[in-house]
Amino acid sequence: MISFVATPIGNLKDITLRALDALREADAVFCEDTRRTLGLLNAYEIRKPLYSCHKFNEREAAQHILALSREGKNVCIVSDAGMPVVSDPGREVCRILKEAGEPYTVLPGANAALCALVLSAFDAQRFTFIGFLPEKKAERRALLERYRAAQETLLFHSAPQDVDAYVAAMYEVFGDRRACAVREITKLHEESIPFTLSEGLAGEKRGEYVLVVEGAAPAQNPLNALSVPEHVAVYLAQGMEKKEAYKRVARERGISKSDVYREAVRADGADD
């Protein structure tokens, strides 16, 4: 059995019972940095053979994992912290296993981006995880441009030395927006710091960050300047069925369909 195992992102107690069972039963553990994983295993008195699986050797590691699995061995794949594959090595392993028809499973656990979203108190109904931005400025800007009009909350990972450059690039593309910098998640000095893109994030940058940025404001529909009955009348004049007109007006104005119906009926009564 091959298992992708989420590991703690800070506090070592944030590991699941299933993850510990899988690691104890593993014949081999593939990890991003053997020194980091050794520290985790030592904390729980687990002794296992460790093998590297990082961005420079992922294909070779995947073939090794595949071979072990076909020998009937139990294999765990972990990253330094959080969920493998998500902004961490493992994507190539998944691809090779899937193409080979080799089954694998995922043991869920800690996730920095989702924790940061909750800590920010920003809208969590809809959000987009973007992860780390490209190193080259032109590529970074091109990626941000894709999300300029996105209305959902945006989540970014950032190393401390990149925070200021990321924020400056976001301000250049998005304009001024509310943002929140979350660091040291699950640790003693956990912080959730609100700021605006125009101000930037003050102070010395330490530790890994999740930057949470509010989405774009909804595009203003010029028809919203009309009264609700007038708005409905525009679509009726275009040949739209009344029910569909009510639904579209409700969606565009951010109100319920029953409110649109009530306003339209009241207007019809006043005209009689």
pLDDT digits (tens, 9 = 90+) for 107-125: 999 999 999 999 999 999 9
Name which of 229, 163, 248, 222 is nearest 197 in CA terms.
Answer: 163
Query: What is the CATH topology of the domain spanning 2-107?
Result: Cobalt-precorrin-4 Transmethylase; domain 1 (3.40.1010)
Distances (CA, A) of 221 to 178, 196, 238: 23, 26, 17
pTM: 0.79
Q: Phi/psi class of residue 232: alpha, beta or left (left: φ > 0; alpha: ψ in -120 to 50)? A: alpha
Q: Where do the domains of the chain lie?
A: 2-107, 112-213, 222-271
pLDDT in tens, 154-187: 999 999 999 999 999 999 999 999 999 999 999 9
- The pLDDT, as a whole number, for residue 218 is 74
Q: 23 burial class (0-12, 13-18, 19+ CB within 10 angstroms)?
A: buried
Mean pLDDT, rounded, for 47-76: 97
Say if 2-107 and 112-213 have the same CATH topology: no
Pairing relation of β-strands 127-131 and 75-78? unpaired
pLDDT in tens, 10-27: 999 999 999 999 999 999
Helices and strands of the chain, counted as H and E runs: 10, 10
Pick the CATH number of 112-213 from 3.40.309.10, 3.30.950.10, 3.40.50.12780, 3.40.720.10: 3.30.950.10
